[in-house]
Amino acid sequence: MSTEQTTASHGFAYTLTRTLDAPAATVWRAWTDAEQYAQWAGAAAGSVEMDVRPGGAWRATMVTPDGGQFPLTGSYLEVAENRRLVTGMNIPGRSEPAAMVMELDEQDDQHTQIVLHQTCDTAEERDMAEQGSTMLLDSLSTFLTARARD
């Protein structure tokens, strides 16, 4: 996996770009298949549910490094298989879900550029979301590398 990552932060938004050593379809499945997602994203076993279609719901209970757990819920706002996924996350106290955009651009049959973008309400929210997204990309890279060796 390539560890090359670029980060751009503007106002309360961030964009992370990374090149993965996997075809777009493999990256897409890792991100949208509940079983695979649970393996790499730090979710509690059996807690991930995904209805990957516009308006479909998702939920997961994430496990922190210290063993704590917190539930996440949301919906899929836009789905373009193997290319673009816009995910809304429900945040307490917020009237609209926080939207994260994931875009895949297959460079060739073995390399895919992934771009994550999110606009937040505050600098603190942006920093936390960017940190979480960076951790997701690190875990996804590790997962895809291990799968390629199997």
How many domains is the chain partitioned into structurally?
1
On whether the CB atoms of residues 139 and 41 are closer than 8 A, the answer is yes
CATH, residue 143:
3.30.530.20
Distance (Å, rounded) from C-alpha 139 to C-alpha 30?
11
The pLDDT of residue 59: 97
Which residue range is the domain that position 123 belongs to?
A: 5-149
Q: Are 139 and 30 in contact (CB under 8 A)?
A: no
Binned at pLDDT 50, 70 and 90, residue 65 comes out as confident
125 pLDDT higher than 70? yes
What pTM was computed for the model?
0.89
The torsion angles phi and psi of 33, rounded to 5 degrees, stand at: -95, 120
pLDDT tens digits, 36-53:
999 999 999 899 999 999
